[in-house]
Amino acid sequence: MAIPKITAVGSVGLDTIITPTGKREELLGGSVVHFAVSASFLTKVGMVGVAGDDFSAEHITFLKERNIDLEGLELVENGKTFRWTGSYLDDFNMAKTHRTDLNVFADFQPEIPGAYKSSPIVFLANIAPALQLHVIDQMDESSYRICDTMNLWIDITRDELGKVFEKVDIAIMNDGEARSFTGIDNLVKAGKKMLEYGMDYCVIKKGEHGAMAFGKNDFFTAVPAYPVEEVIDPTGAGDSFAGGFVGYIAEAGNHKPESIKKALRWGSVMGSFNVSDFSCDRFRKTKLEEINNRLAEFERMI
C-alpha cells in the first residue's frame, strides 16, 4: 500500500450530543475521526484507532469514501466502542460531560502498521501521553511530529506530557491548556515558554477568537476564527482545526513560516465547517471547491 502523508492516532467514538438545536445519539465521533475527515480534503491519512464490532459499516464506508486508510483501525470482536455523552446548553465553548464509557478504548495500545511508520507526518491526538510516546517510538526518526493534548493529561500526567513536548516538532493546545501547563496567564508569554521544550512551533487555539502560532526566531502569526452565523455542534472543532492545519503542512511538504501562516487559515476554515452541523455531517456534503471559496473569502476578510 502507499505510504500515507499523515499517520494519525487517537480515539474513535460514538457521541451523544445535546445543544440548543436538539439532541443526537450515537453519532460518529472521536478525536482521530474528526481530524482525519478534515485532513482528508487535503491529503492521504492513515488512521490508527480502536472500536468495537458495534462500530457500524456505515461509518466505515464513510471514512473509506473520504479516502482515509483504515489499516490501522482495530475492530475488537465482542467489544463496545468508546462512548461520550455531552451537552453545550450553557456555553458552546465548554462541553458538560454527562457520561464517558471508555469500553475498548480503555485497553488501547496503538500498533502502527508497517507502511505508516515512514509517514512524513505523525499526528498524535489528545490520547494519554504514554500512548503518544509509544507511537513516537514506533515511527521513523524522519517523521515530523505534531501533538494535541487536553487538560486531563496536564492535571494527572504532567511529567509524561513534558516528555512528549520534548519529542515533538509542533504542539497544538487551546488557551486554557497553555495557561494551565505553563502557569502563565499571558498567552504570548505562555506560547514562547512552550518553545523552550525545543519544538519548532506552538499553536494556541482560542475557540471563537481564532488561533496563533509561535516559533523560533520570534516568529508569530495569528488568525481570527472564520465567522459562523449559527453554531450547531462544536464537538470536534479543535480536531477539525488540526486536520486542516496539519493537512496543509503535509501537502505543502514543508513547515516553513509561510506554510504555518497558510496552515492556520486552513485550520480556521475547516473548523468553521465542522461546527455547522452535528458530528462530521457537514463534511459529508462539503466539496473542495467550497472550501477553496471560503478560504479566498477568509483571505479577503483578514
pLDDT one-digit tens code per residue, 19-75: 998 999 999 999 999 999 999 999 999 999 999 999 999 999 999 999 999 999 999
Tell me whether residue 157 is in a domain.
yes
CATH number at residue 154: 3.40.1190.20
Q: Is the pLDDT assigned to residue 126 strictly greater than 90?
A: no
Closest CA to 133 of 118, 153, 115: 153
Tell me whether residue 219 is in a domain.
yes
- Over the stretch 228-254, which tens digit does the pLDDT of each residue have? 999 999 999 999 999 999 999 999 999
Closest CA to 2 of 139, 111, 119, 112: 119
Q: Is the pLDDT assigned to residue 154 strictly greater than 90?
A: no
**Residue labelled with grid coordinates 509542533:** 170
Out of 1-5, 136-140, 144-148, which region has the weakest mean confidence (pLDDT)?
1-5
Tell me whether residue 53 is in a domain.
yes
Tell me whether residue 1 is in a domain.
no
Q: Is the pLDDT assigned to residue 202 strictly greater than 70?
A: yes
Tell me whether residue 295 is in a domain.
yes
Query: Which residues form the domain of 38?
Result: 6-301
Tell me, yes or no, if the pTM score tops 0.85.
yes
Residue type at 243? G
Query: Whole-number mean pLDDT of the chain?
Result: 95
How many domains are there within the chain?
Answer: 1
- Report which of residues 154 and 33 the model is more confident about: 33
Tell me whether residue 182 is in a domain.
yes
Q: Is the pLDDT assigned to residue 208 strictly greater than 80?
A: yes
**Cell numbers found for residue 205:** 487555539
Tell me whether residue 244 is in a domain.
yes
Residue type at 34? H
